[in-house]
Structure 1
Amino acid sequence: MTSLAAPAATYAEAKDVARRLVEARLAARPLAGIPGPLPDTLDQAYQIQDAAIALWPDEIAGWKVGRVPAAPGEEASSERLAGPIFRRQVRQATPGETPFPVLVGGFAAVEAEFVIRLGADAPAGKVDWSLDEAAALVAAWHIGVETAGSPMAEINAIGGVAVAGDFGNNAGVILGPEVPGWRERPLDSMACEVTIDGRRIGTGTAASIPGGPLESLVFLLGHCAGRGLPLRAGALVATGAATGVHDIVSGQSSVVSFGALGAIACRAEPARPFALGTLAP
C-alpha cells in the first residue's frame, strides 16, 4: 500500500485529524487513510484520541483493550492499546440476532470478548496495579462481542498509531450474560468460537488473552490513570480478542459462542449518519 507516513503531528494537527475522523464516523463516510500526519508514537496517537473524545457527542461507558497490530510477516505484539466505548454503542444481547452498524467502505469486525464490569471507582492517580488489586474492583465478568470499526478500511495495516488515534478501532460492544464463578474458573476452561455466515473462523479461550483478562484490566487502570481518566464503578472493559479479529461486512451474521456460558448472535447492518451536521473547527 502507499505509505501514509508524514512528520509527527503537532497538537493543532492532532485536533484537526481528530475532527476529520469524528466527522467521518458521524457521517458514516469511509476514508482512504488517516486524514492528516501519521503520528510517530502511541503517545501522539492518544493526543488525537483525546481530542476526538472531546468532540464525540456521547459519554464514555467503558474501554476496549487490544493488542497493537503486527506488521505484515511479524508475530502479534504483546503491547496493548486502549480506546473508548461510548454509552449509545453498548448493546444488550437479544434472544435473536442483535443488529449492529458497520460503516460501509470502512473497516468492521467482530471479536469474542470477556467483558469486565467494575463495581468500584479506581483511585485517581494510581498507575501501578497488581492482579489482586485489579480483581478487587471487579463486580462481574460478562461474555460479549466487540464490534470493531473505523472509517479507514486499512486501519490495521496502517498500524497501531492509527488504531489508537481512531478510538482504538472500536465501534461498540454487545453485552451478554454474566460468567458465574469467574474467580474460580481456570482461564483455559472458558472457551469461545466465532462463526460468520455459518462458517467457523476462530476459536480460543480466556487464556488466549496475554496474561488473561485481568492483565488487560491492570494495563487499562494504569493507562487511564496516567491520562487523568481513572475508571469508575460501572465501567465496562472489553479485555481483548480471545479468538482474533474477524472481518465482517454489512449483511453478514455472526454467532459468538462461549459454550455453556452462552452465545451471542449478531447481524451487521449499514451504519446511518448521525443527524448532527459538521463539527466546528
Structure 2
Amino acid sequence: MLHKPLDAIFPSPPDGLDPFALDPERVPEHVAVIMDGNGRWAKKRALNRLKGHKAGIEAVRETIRCASDAGVRYLTIYSFSTENWKRPEEEVVGLMDLFAKTMLAEVDGLHEEHVRVRTIGDISALPEETRAAFDEAWEKTKDNDGMTLLVAVNYGSRQEMLRAVQACMREAVIAAEETGAIPQVDERMFERGLYTADIPDPDLVIRTSGEMRVSNFLLWQMAYSEFYCTDVLWPDFNRYDFLRALLDYQSRDRRFGAVQS
C-alpha cells in the first residue's frame, strides 16, 4: 500500500518513465539490494574508495525513503560482507566509523517515518562503537510498525547456513535427550536458525554497477527471487532507478517452478 501518492514519491520522472505505470497492489513485499560500485565511482573521480562509500549514503537514504513510501514492507541492504574484512585496513576502519556515524545521524529520521531498523549478520565482531550504534537504532525503533530495514553487516550466507545447521543439530540433540527420538530436519526447522527466520524471502533482488553475481548474499532466501541488474553505480542510484526496478519486477510472471496455466 502506498504511503504517499505516486506523483509525490516520483515528482520529476525523466522522459519515458511513467510512475503511474506502477501498480500499488503489486509492489514487492521484500526488496534486497546489493549496493555495488562505490569504489568505481570514486576511482572515476580520482578519489579514494572511502569517498565513494560516503557518496553512497545519499543513495541509501533515498532508497529507504522511496521504498517505504512505495509500500515495501522489508528492505535489506548489503552493507558489509564477511569477505570485506580482506579489504585494506584503512578502508575497513573508515567503513566501521561511517556505519556508526551514519546510523546515529539517521535513526531519529527513520524513527519518525516508523521504520524499524535491525541487523542481520554477526555484529559481535564489529568495533564497539559501531555495534553500539546498531544496538541503539534497534532499541529506538523496534516497536515501529512501518517498513523493516535490515542492514546486512558482517553477513555471509554460507556462514549463516552453517549457523542454521548447527542450530538444527542442537535442537535435534535436545529433542533426542527428551524423547529418545531424533527429529527429522525439514525446511522450517532449518529456517529457524537463519537471521531472517521471521522475515519473508525477498521478492526482488537489485544489484547495481553491472555486476552479475550474488556475492554470498541470501543464498537460501533468494531461491525464487526476481533479479534486476543495472549498470548504474551505487552513489548514482536514485528513486527513478528504484522505480525502473519495480516496474521491471511487475513485468515478470512469477510461477515458482509451476507450469503456466
Same fold (TM over 0.5): no
| Greater radius of gyration (CA) | 2
Structure with greater proportional helix content: 2
Structure with greater proportional strand content: 1
What TM-score, normalized to structure 1? 0.28
What TM-score, normalized to structure 2? 0.29
